[in-house]
């Protein structure tokens, strides 16, 4: 049975993951409106990953005999100054998520919940990748600045991203 405090903290994280899904979907829509379909694809895949993150928590709470409580999801921004701005926000958001995953891990350690620690380790590792992915594209965008040729080249590359659910799926 999951500890109530841990259950509540995971429910709050489910909400953050669902907000992440919503945020990246909003970014995908914005990029599509800019005719940057590769960026839109990347954000759409990112959005699907976030749903996966939320559902992995969701199933875990149920499996541990807890209750999933869904809360209202905040409205994401619908406008971004340029691609660089969207990726600055993405990296900042992922750093915020990492911070919250670390807090969840701190709580699992405090409660001496070994199962939760093992489960949360997947997210700790995943966040390294989440931040690195956003940071890489942000740095590439900073390199090309407003050069349309560079932005279009990057757009082609981001068009190749596909969603592959991790094999460790709960
Ligand atoms: Fe779920 O990792 Fe991004 O937000």
pLDDT tens digits along 62-97: 999 999 999 999 999 999 999 999 999 999 999 999
Q: Enumerate domains of the chain plus CATH numbers.
A: 4-158 (1.20.1260.10)
The yes-or-no verdict on residue 118 having pLDDT over 80 is yes
At 168 the pLDDT is 65
Ligand 1 midpoint to CA 147 (Å):
29
| C-alpha 153 chain-centroid distance | 24
CB 87 within 8 A of CB 138: yes
Centre of ligand 1 to C-alpha 16, Å, is 8
**Cα separation, 33 vs 35, whole angstroms:** 5
167 three-state secondary structure: coil
What is this structure's pTM?
0.96
Most ligand 1 atoms within 8 A of CB, residue of 94, 131, 135 to mutate: 94
Ligand 1 centroid vs 73 CA: distance in angstroms? 15
Q: Residues with Cβ within 6 A of ligand 1? A: 17, 20, 50, 53, 94, 97, 130
């Amino acid at each position: 049975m999951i500890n109530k405090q841990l259950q509540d903290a995971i429910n709050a994280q489910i909400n953050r993951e669902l907000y992440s899904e919503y945020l990246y979907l909003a970014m995908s829509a914005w990029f599509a409106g800019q005719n940057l379909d590769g960026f839109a694809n990347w954000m759409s895949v990112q959005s699907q990953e976030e749903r996966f993150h939320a559902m992995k928590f969701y199933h875990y709470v149920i499996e541990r005999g807890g209750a999933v409580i869904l809360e209202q999801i905040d409205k994401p921004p619908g406008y971004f100054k340029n691609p660089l701005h969207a990726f600055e926000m993405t990296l900042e958001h992922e750093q915020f998520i990492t911070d919250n995953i670390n807090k969840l891990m701190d709580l699992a350690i405090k409660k001496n919940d070994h199962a939760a620690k093992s489960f949360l380790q997947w997210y700790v590792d995943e966040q390294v990748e989440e931040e690195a992915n956003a940071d890489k594209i942000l740095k590439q965008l900073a390199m090309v600045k407003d050069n349309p040729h560079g932005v279009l080249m990057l757009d082609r590359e981001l068009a190749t991203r596909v969603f592959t659910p991790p094999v460790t799926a709960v």
